Amino acid sequence: MSLLNILRYPDPRLHKVAKPVAVFDERLKKLAADMAETMYEAPGIGLAATQVDVHEQIVVIDISDTHDALQVFINPEVVWASEEKQVYDEGCLSVPGIYDGVERPSRVKVRALDLDGKPFEVDVDGLMAVCIQHEMDHLKGKVFVEYLSPLKRNRIKTKLQKEERELMRDRKKTAVR
């Protein structure tokens, strides 16, 4: 297994729409394993393939404290969402250090395929409902900050771009030494 590079907002590749997975093979299993390793190392509780510049409908999630409840969703789709909403403070591995409230349905039923191409459904609420909706947004090319006001979104973009410039400048200084 190997760690993958996580794209950072506002990278335009985060806005690409992922294509459905058609081939269930060893490459797919390796990608899911690498995504899981990357998510745990980051550390995070969910990761969509779009975030690692693979534009296929693959999501890995593990909301457990012990990192032993990995779930893989291939070609996920929400088949039912509650009318009841909840606001949850969300963060994102592609938007490091930023957390803000996003309103989403409090319960969803999701249909997906497993790594062998077998269909399954889950009916989830709470953190799991938030996480699956957040990750599925990535597959549609949407980042959680897009739910925020334009002012907040621009502040976040400016902050992350400044951090990226400083990081690149520090790397150049280190390389020159």
Known binding-site positions: 92, 134, 138
Catalytic residue among 103, 135, 164, 166: 135
Is 135 one of the annotated active-site residues of the chain? yes
Annotated binding site for Fe cation: 92, 134, 138
Largest CA distance in the chain: 58
Q: Which residues of 84-98 are buried (b: 16+ CB within 10 A; e: fewer)?
A: eebebebebbbbeeb
Token pair 């400083």 is found at 166
The catalytic residues are 135
